[in-house]
Copies of this chain bind each other. A is one copy, B any other.
Amino acid sequence: MAPEDRVRTFIHGFDEKLSGGIPRGHIVLLAGEPGTMKSTIAFNVLYQNALREGAPGTYISLEQGRDNLTRHLISMSLGPKDVEDKVSIVDLGMIRRNLNGMTERTWLEIFKMYASNMKRSLNYELLVVDSLPVLEVMARFENPREELFQLFEWVRDLKATTLLISELKPGSEDFGKNGEEFLSDGIIHTKMERVDDANIQRRIRCVKMRGTGHSPNYYTLLFQKGVLQATRILAE
């Protein structure tokens, strides 16, 4: 498969394990426990693809305010300013608070409205949703498995490569309560590994990636000077 069919993660050493990157158009779960740099990884995908490939992207945040996220990214040497003509950050919490006159709309409808409108105006190729569990909570599904199934179909119709950030409980590999792991085309899993009594390492692994050969192994995840890296785990 040619590289133009792939979106690079720009985690050094990891794209090779995915035969070049994430197949274009996939919906990928980026799932991991707290502290495993999921937001950083996801924003980095938007940032690097904008900077190097000119690809427009959108980051829809339900948890962190826009300012908070911006500060976070700057401190990580990922400057939203550098790519502001290409990458949009949507602070869905602030938007909803300002929508006083229209509170009859549910959160899910607001999410869909913004995701659609920005698709029309920006034609983003890459979409990050931070996070799927918060969206699911706010959506107040009545039949969670069925409505989630429909949400995935709706997202698929956006024709963007999509990263859905998902928080796991520490030590858990339960990627979803409502079938998220079946519905997604790929799963990238981040975790904390306790390597001895004192030391903990972050790890990354591609669990599943439809339509691509990939290594199922774990790699050590490092972040230094604004660069994410997946390196081989040294023998103990």
A134 and B182 within 8 A (CB): yes
Contacts known (A71-B211, A208-B34, A211-B75); A200 close to B216, Cβ less than 8 A: yes
Interface size for A (C-beta < 8 A) is 69
Q: Are A199 and B217 in contact (CB under 8 A)?
A: yes
Contacts of A202 in B (CB 8 A): 216
Q: Are B198 and A219 in contact (CB under 8 A)?
A: yes
Contacts A1-B75, A185-B68 given; indicate if A198 touches B218 (C-beta within 8 A): yes
Check if A213 is an interface residue, CB within 8 A of chain B.
yes
**Residues of chain B lying within 8 A (CB to CB) of residue A97:** 153
Assess the A182–B218 pair: CB atoms within 8 A.
Answer: no
Is B149 in contact with A167, judged by CB distance below 8 angstroms? Answer: no
In the complex, whether A45 has a CB less than 8 A from a CB of chain B is: no
Given contacts A1-B75, A213-B223, A137 and B145 within 8 Å (CB-CB) = yes
A68 to B193, CA, bound (A): 34
The 8 Å CB contact of A218, one of B71, B170, B197, B216, is B197
Question: By the criterion CB–CB under 8 Å, are B138 and A149 in contact?
Answer: yes
Cβ-based interface call for A133 (8 A): yes
Q: Which residue of B lies closest to A209 (CB)?
A: B35
Q: Mark A168-184, 1 if CB is under 8 A from B, else 0.
A: 01110111000101110
A35-B216 in contact (CB<8A)? yes
**A123: Cβ under 8 A from any B Cβ:** no
Contact sample, A vs B, 17 pairs, CB 8 Å cutoff: A23-B75, A34-B175, A34-B207, A34-B208, A35-B216, A75-B212, A76-B211, A131-B182, A133-B182, A192-B216, A195-B197, A197-B233, A199-B218, A200-B205, A200-B216, A200-B217, A202-B216
